A = this chain, B = another copy of it.
């Protein structure tokens, strides 16, 4: 059963897009009347959308002083990466027992996309494929709350990165190198060997998680 999305849902997506595009910068205030007019909706549905985004830590609200786009400090980035690592590790732990019956199709598709984009030097394409790879991986764990928490975290990072850094500057070690690491991780998953998976995952994330400067935030 499908239904047309409500204005609230549309507003959420559109505001996230505005932030990702850089139309709304870090620390920028969101004025309800202006934004409502810009989106062509009235304030009530917009306000509900803002509440949702605030709950996801994409914007923050201070009473009587409205909403503003969050600006991530170095500490914030460290927090996000640290939590992301833990959640993805947990996802793998949950996933490993299920691997024999797992369907790798979706995961393979993202890796294929990643290779294609990398060969065309399409950094944005690699970026998106990478994001989808990890979201798919976590989704395979079959843990709804985990998936939810993880994708919220990814959203926070993604919005920040597309705002502050050129994608190219964030691809440590080159596009093709990153593809290879994901390929290896996928292979280890196919093997189902827990030790190999742990190793591939650690190698994959080696330079990315744990003390990492905000300016060096990596897309992987």
Chain A contacts to B: CB under 8 angstroms: 3, 5-6, 8, 44, 47-48, 51-52, 55-57, 63-64, 76, 79-80, 82-83, 86-87, 90, 94, 143-146, 148-149, 153
Is B48's CB under 8 angstroms from A3's CB?
no
Interface of A is mostly: helix
CB-defined A-B contacts under 8 Å, sample of 30: A3-B63, A3-B64, A5-B63, A6-B63, A8-B51, A44-B44, A44-B47, A47-B48, A51-B51, A52-B52, A55-B55, A55-B56, A57-B145, A76-B144, A76-B145, A79-B143, A79-B144, A79-B145, A79-B146, A80-B145, A82-B90, A82-B143, A83-B90, A83-B143, A83-B145, A83-B146, A83-B149, A86-B86, A86-B90, A149-B149
A195–chain B nearest beta-carbon distance, Å: 20
A55-B55, A82-B143 known; 9 new pairs, CB 8 Å cut-off, are: A3-B64, A5-B63, A44-B47, A52-B52, A79-B144, A79-B146, A82-B94, A83-B90, A149-B149
Rounded to whole Å, the gap between the CB of A144 and the closest CB of chain B is: 6
- Compute how far the CA of A122 lies from the CA of B145 in the bound complex, rounded to whole angstroms: 32
CB contacts (< 8 Å) of A80 on chain B: these are 145
CA distance A64 to B63 in the complex (A): 30
The distance in angstroms between the C-alpha atoms of A44 and B43, with both chains bound, is 10
| Cβ of A33 to closest chain B Cβ, rounded Å | 15
Task: Give the CA-CA distance A80 to B51 in the complex, in Å.
Answer: 24
Could you say which residues of chain B place their CB within 8 Å of the CB of A57? 145, 148
> Which residues on the B side are within 8 Å of A64 (C-beta)?
3
Query: What B residues does A148 contact at CB under 8 A?
Result: 57
Q: Which residues of B contact A94 (CB under 8 A)?
A: 82
Which B residues are CB-close (under 8 A) to A52?
A: 51-52, 55
Q: How far is the CB of A209 from chain B (nearest CB, A)?
A: 12
